[in-house]
Amino acid sequence: MNTTLMAVLDWAAVLCLLAGALLSFVASVGLIRFPDLLSRMHTAAKPQVLGLLLVLVGIGLRLLPVETGIFTVGTLAVVGLFQVLTVPVAAHIAARVGYRTGRIDEDLLVTDELFERLQREERATGANRRSPHEELGD
């Protein structure tokens, strides 16, 4: 490969790695600093995945000229795809568990669509649904 192209790829890889590391660091600070479950869930999912994707792109750019048979760029793409598919599902499950256990501050919610849906479902079955905070005795 041309040395100029390799230098450009190296610098692009460095920028992607640094940006990904910075996003992951900011996400970890957000996990510590944010006060409630929904904010922490947001900062754990979105910037963390973007940071990981940038790190994977940086590694992929660095591996393009070398391309070993054991660790290919395709493996990085599979890892990135797996993260993009699974992290939103895990965040959704964490939010549902937090809601059902009453760990979500209802004052921060603009609309509570899950509460309305659960009430409709329980009216159909004959059970009464109270607010998650009422269930804990708050």
Residue-wise pLDDT tens digits, 1-44: 688 888 999 999 999 999 999 999 999 998 899 888 888 888 88
Question: What is this structure's pTM?
Answer: 0.76
Look at residue 128 in the predicted model and tell me its pLDDT. 61
Which tokens hold the place of 41? 């869930």
Nearest to 43 by CA among 91, 84, 82, 4: 91
DSSP label at 108? Answer: G
